Amino acid sequence: MWTWLDERVGLEPLTHLAAQKVVPRHRYSIFYYLGGMALFLFIIQLGTGLLLLLYYEPGVSTAYESVKRISGEIPFGWLIRSIHRWSADIFIGVLALHMFTAYLMKAYRRPRELTWLTGVAAFGLALAFGFSGYLLPWDEIAFFATSVGTAVAGAFPLVGEPLLQLLRGGEDVTGATLARFFALHVVVLPFAALALLGIHLLLVQKHGMSVPPGVAEKGRARPFFPDFLMHDLVGWTLALALLAALAALLPAELGPKANPFASAPPEIKPEWYFYAPFQQLKMIPAFVGPFEGEAVGAVGFAILGLLFALVPFLDRQAARGERSPAFTVAGWIVFVYLVGLTCYAWLH
């Protein structure tokens, strides 16, 4: 079989890659597992997402009813939907950790700038996946979370209004918004994510794994195949068990059906990964100088994201292979700030 395929496809480059690929050993090596874990959870999302598509019916009069049917009538529908929800939450958490640890290890430095940029863009796509998927059940919380989220986009100076129209498909959150978010969630974002992921993984293969500046390697690098992959498999099995347990113990909920003529529920909160901007928007006063508070918040977060994406071009010391403690401290400050806001929003 191998020979048959080798003659027709040419498997030599693959076996060569598998034999050559190694993972450096040092005190921070454990963080190398985060990328593989994110990839595994993404595959879970693709699989469960495809299954949900068999029954989900987009549309104001069908979306909620079809999700209710998936959760209540379809055999194991509750399990598939709950794993999709939990896996999305954990996926974004793992991706955030992967990105933050790559930042602290200065993995963005030359020649890996494009690897970093594709990774940051992939994180942006993951947030867009979460935001667009949240509306699809068309329940009360989803409706208001989308109203607020799109209104934040609308708060940007100059581009806000067209952006709001583009996202909502009109002035308000309606069936037009649901149609757009559905198309975004199941067609546009998956294609974009697969393309970005492909480039990201290709660049990781090309440059190998980065060792942080000033960190001593411990002995010979570990072969990726089979050593590292076996460890990956253990992690993935544990993740699958965790997902199954969470789905069984805390299945995905479905609130009352969205009603544009009802008040927002008092306990309304977005998904955990939007807690930080949510809490920040709560805290910013109506006006900051001559500017409206929500515009300041939206632009502030956009600038923070942009600086983060451009860090390979700002951190000149790391680019020269030197330590850059100022960037490490700045990273920790932002991390503590975001985690602090998230915890505060969670507790209140």
| Contact between 278 and other proteins per CB under 8 A | yes
- Convert residues 202-241 into a mask of x (bound to other proteins by CB under 8 A) and - (unbound): ----------------------------------------
Q: Provide the residue type at 26 as one letter.
A: H
> Of residues 158, 261, 325, 347, which one binds other proteins by CB under 8 A?
261
Q: Around Cβ 325, how many Cβ atoms within 10 Å?
A: 9
> Of residues 28, 76, 287, 332, which one binds other proteins by CB under 8 A?
287
Dist. CA 208–CA 204, nearest whole Å: 5
| Contact between 147 and other proteins per CB under 8 A | yes
Dist. CA 69–CA 60, nearest whole Å: 15
CA 115 to the chain's CA centroid: 16
Tell me how many degrees the CA angle 201-202-206 measures, rounded to the nearest 5: 115
Dist. CA 60–CA 63, nearest whole Å: 6
- The size of the interface with other proteins (CB under 8 A), counted in residues, is 33
The residue written with tokens 């910013």 in the block is 284
CA 220 to the chain's CA centroid: 33
User: Cα-flanking dihedrals φ and ψ of residue 218, to 5°?
Assistant: -100, 100
Q: Which is nearer to other proteins, 19 or 187 (CB)?
A: 187
| Contact between 152 and other proteins per CB under 8 A | yes
Q: With contact defined as beta carbons under 8 Å apart, do 260 and 175 qualify?
A: no
> Of residues 139, 232, 271, 294, which one binds other proteins by CB under 8 A?
294
DSSP run (H or E) holding 23: strand 22-23
Query: What part of residues 33-52 is at the interface with other proteins (CB under 8 A)?
Result: none
| Contact between 108 and other proteins per CB under 8 A | no
| Contact between 255 and other proteins per CB under 8 A | no
- Convert residues 116-145 into a mask of x (bound to other proteins by CB under 8 A) and - (unbound): ----------------------------x-
Q: With contact defined as beta carbons under 8 Å apart, do 144 and 269 qualify?
A: no
Dist. CA 297–CA 277, nearest whole Å: 8
Closest distance to other proteins from the beta carbon of 175 (Å): 12
The dihedral through the CA atoms of 223, 227, 233, 236 has a sign that is negative
Q: Which is nearer to other proteins, 214 or 290 (CB)?
A: 290
Dist. CA 139–CA 141, nearest whole Å: 6
Q: Which is nearer to other proteins, 148 or 334 (CB)?
A: 148
Task: Specify the stretch interacting with other proteins by CB under 8 A; choose among 160-168, 201-209, 323-331, 335-343.
Answer: 160-168
| Contact between 264 and other proteins per CB under 8 A | yes
| Contact between 265 and other proteins per CB under 8 A | yes
| Contact between 266 and other proteins per CB under 8 A | yes
| Contact between 289 and other proteins per CB under 8 A | no
Q: With contact defined as beta carbons under 8 Å apart, do 102 and 108 qualify?
A: yes
Q: With contact defined as beta carbons under 8 Å apart, do 271 and 333 qualify?
A: no
| Contact between 268 and other proteins per CB under 8 A | yes
Strands (E), 148-227: 222-223
| Contact between 344 and other proteins per CB under 8 A | no
Task: Specify the stretch interacting with other proteins by CB under 8 A; choose among 6-14, 89-97, 116-124, 161-169.
Answer: 161-169
Task: Specify the stretch interacting with other proteins by CB under 8 A; choose among 66-74, 117-125, 228-236, 261-269.
Answer: 261-269
- Convert residues 164-193 into a mask of x (bound to other proteins by CB under 8 A) and - (unbound): -xx--xxxx---x-----------------
The residue written with tokens 């930042």 in the block is 103
Residues that bind other proteins (CB under 8 A): 144, 147-148, 151-152, 155, 162, 165-166, 169-172, 176, 260-268, 278, 281-282, 284-287, 292-294
